[in-house]
Amino acid sequence: MTRYDLLDLIWYACSAVILVPIALGVRYWAYLSVQERTVVWFLVIMLALEIIATCLRYSLIRNHFIFYFRTLAVLWVGVAWYEPQINWKRWPALLAVIVAGGMLAEVWFWVGFNYINTFSLTLAWLLLVSYGFLSLLQLMNLPTAVSLRQKPDLYMNAGFVLLGFFSAGTACLENYFIETSLDLYYFSDTLLVFMSATAYVSFATGFARKQQISDSLLSV
């Protein structure tokens, strides 16, 4: 077994962790708010896109167009999850439209349809990180009698910050790594799936906390 085979095994193992929050989200669906259900749908979409991209890659078919749908999914969850939280009125939706329009311009006039939309994808992830960071600050500043660790939103926002930060870094440098060094590409990709797995665990913890809070309220 070569080191690249080992990295592939790590990649598959870490990627499979996304099934944990999806399973918990489906199990506790009745307890989740409309916002929290969008997180489940987002994870399902990301999993489906990853499966399609992997199948195309092993079939030796270019899969760069998958990144366009990934960008739209990130923009969508940023609006659906954070617009009610960060009190920016309609700004998240407006910024999402601007980045989506920028993606079309990037693909049509700059990189072409056979290449990754690096710039717009990085912006989409950075927007998600910014929203998550602002929401975490708001949670920490709220006076509450309940421990912060008991709040499901803490784990959701932490998951988005982790996922968005490392995804943005990888999206920004991916083309450069592919063209200059496969070792750097594999390192960044492995780091991304490892941190993504950490984010998925955070989402799963958020769903579990929500179920615990709902059960405690029903038992009162």
Residue 218, pLDDT score: 54
Rounded Cα gap, residues 119 and 81, in angstroms: 23
Percent of the chain with pLDDT over 90: 48
Rounded Cα gap, residues 111 and 172, in angstroms: 14
In the predicted structure, residue 91 carries a pLDDT above the cut 80: yes
pLDDT tens, position by position, 100-116: 999 999 988 888 777 78
Two structure tokens written together for 148: 């912060």
- Residue 8 sits at φ, ψ, to 5 deg, of -65, -40
Residue 196, pLDDT score: 94
Most confident of 5-14, 19-28, 103-112: 19-28
Residue 118, pLDDT score: 86
pLDDT tens, position by position, 141-184: 876 655 677 788 899 999 999 999 999 988 888 777 777 777 77
Candidates 105, 108, 102; CA nearest to 120 is 102
DSSP per-residue codes, 18-63: THHHHHHHHHTGGG--HHHHHHHHHHHHHHHHHHHHHHHHHTT---
CB 79 within 8 A of CB 50: no
CB 71 within 8 A of CB 124: yes
Four-residue CA torsion sign, 109, 111, 114, 118: negative
How many CA atoms within 13 Å lie on the side-chain side of 7?
14
Residue 216, pLDDT score: 62
Residue 21, pLDDT score: 95
Long-range contacts of 105-113 (CB under 8 A, 24+ apart): 107/68, 113/64, 113/65
H or E element that contains 88 = none
Domain count for the chain:
1
pLDDT tens, position by position, 44-77: 999 999 999 888 888 877 788 899 999 999 999 9
Query: Would you tell me the crossing angle of helices 118-141 and 66-82 to the nearest 10 degrees?
Result: 20
What is this structure's pTM?
0.90
In the predicted structure, residue 197 carries a pLDDT above the cut 70: yes
CA 190 to chain centre: 16
CA distance to 86, 99, 109, 120, per residue, from 74 (Å): 17, 11, 22, 11
Domain, as residue range, for 131: 3-219
Candidates 196, 121, 190, 191; CA nearest to 160 is 196
Two structure tokens written together for 79: 């609006």
Confidence of residue 42 (pLDDT cuts 50, 70, 90): very high
Q: What is the CATH number of the domain that holds 109?
A: 1.20.1070
